[in-house]
């Protein structure tokens, strides 16, 4: 569980950045 808690934030951050980039490109 601790592993996920540490890896999730980073993964989520990358996804959020990608989504934001897509919106900015529109």
Q: For residues 26 and 14, what is the distance between their CA atoms, to the nearest angstrom?
A: 19
Q: For residues 14 and 8, what is the distance between their CA atoms, to the nearest angstrom?
A: 10
Specify the pLDDT at position 13.
Answer: 87
Give per-residue pLDDT as tens, 1-26: 576 666 777 888 899 999 999 998 76
Q: Taking the domains of the chain in order of start, what are their residue ranges?
A: 1-26
Specify the pLDDT at position 25.
Answer: 78
* Element at 3 (helix H, strand E): helix 2-25
Specify the pLDDT at position 3.
Answer: 64
């Amino acid at each position: 569980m601790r592993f996920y808690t540490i890896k999730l934030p980073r993964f989520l951050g990358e996804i959020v950045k990608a989504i934001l980039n897509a919106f900015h490109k529109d």
